[in-house]
Amino acid sequence: MKTIYLDHAATTPIKDEVRDRMMPYLSESFGNPSSLHHVGIPIRKLINDARNTILRGLNASDDQLVFTSGGTESSNLAIKGYAFAHPDKKEIITTKIEHHATLHACSFMESIGYTVIEMDVDRAGFIDLDDLESRLNSNTLLVSIIWGNNEIGTIQDIESIGKICRKKGVALHVDAVQVFGHETIDLGHLSIDMLTLSAHKFYGPKGSGCLFFRKGIAIEPLIHGGMQEMSRRAGTENVAGILGMAEAFERMLVNRESYSTKLSRQTKTLKDLVFEQVDDVRLNGPDLLERRLSGNLNLSFKGISGMELAYELDKRGIAVSTGSACNARSVEPSHVLKAIGVDEDYVHGAIRLSLGENTRDEDLQYVANAIEEAVSDLRA
């Protein structure tokens, strides 16, 4: 049985070139970057080169970047680290459709005395910009927004959000884990103070991510120890992961436009096939022609369980998700689908199909046929 992998929003396969870049630093080039000798010093230079590669690619060469273990740590460092460095303000604004890394970090801040406001979104997942502006006040510490939603693909108007925050003098953290590779990220143009990336979402290694922050932004470290990462994240660096991330970043930067165009075309084809062949199905999130992540297709099927449908598709060799991979074992409806008001008849029957680099045109009809067959069996 062949495998058709349609869960790229959960993780992407590591590219051969990325693996090849990493391998020497898992074997002969093993030096500690903090060691002041001929084995360690070259490794420190490679880490600095990787940092500069990513900053240049983001058009943010004059700013700073901390390497982390991934998106979750980066968002926690942004939210908690910025709050601990600015104890005079106690209000954080976010949305109801954030990744759990943000929502749970904010819940922790709430438990120690902060006020957290989770903004509503409309049925496509967009926030109201006027509502955001009206909420900002002298006690607002931080706004934390997911740029491209990992479940329903909604791409927020980050340019306008940034302008509002800058006008009000409020820091903006953006979770860009899903959006890199789908949208241009030009930090020389956008008013973003902190930005989270994770390598395994763009064909790099798991366990490697980074947090960008503007020059002059104060962040209290969450991990204390040595002086690595400009004293903002202690611990010996994951050298192979950092170099793999930089390699994957560069390759995605070059291929972004063609990658996004391919995924948009394939996503529309698959959506049209499913809607032609299956009754009582709805698209969750924005229309495909709106601000939506290319490759993201979140569908709800009336009267069935999304978990059972995902299981039936898996038996046919098709790997999909029921929503966020971090919440795959939950039988509760996704917090994102509840936030956008998906009808009760549909909210339990959602699956997320997220296409990627290796998705083939010739597999789309097979997937649509498998969905039709599985839905028919479950409804029977």
Q: Which residue numbers are catalytic?
A: 326
Report the alpha-carbon distance of residue 118 to residue 37 in Å, rounded.
50
CB atoms inside a 10 Å sphere around CB 342: 23
Q: How far is Cα of residue 163 from the mean position of the Cα atoms in its chain?
A: 22
Amino acid at 370: A
The phi, psi pair for 79, rounded to 5°, reads -75, -55
Residues 6+ apart with CB under 8 A from 355: 6, 8, 263, 266, 267, 270, 295, 297
Asked if 181 contacts 44 with a C-beta cutoff of 8 angstroms, the reply is no
Say if CB 272 and CB 299 are below 8 A apart: no
3-state DSSP assignment of residue 112: coil
DSSP reduced 3-state for 167: helix
- For every residue of 179-236, DSSP letters joined together read TBTTB---TTTS--SEEEEEGGGTTS-TT-EEEEE-TT-----SS-SS-HHHHTS-S-
Q: Which amino acid is at 342?
A: V
How distant, in Å, are the alpha carbons of 58, 120, 175, 294, 327 from that of 291?
A: 21, 18, 16, 9, 25
Where residue 299 falls (left for φ over 0; alpha for ψ -120 to 50; beta otherwise) is: beta
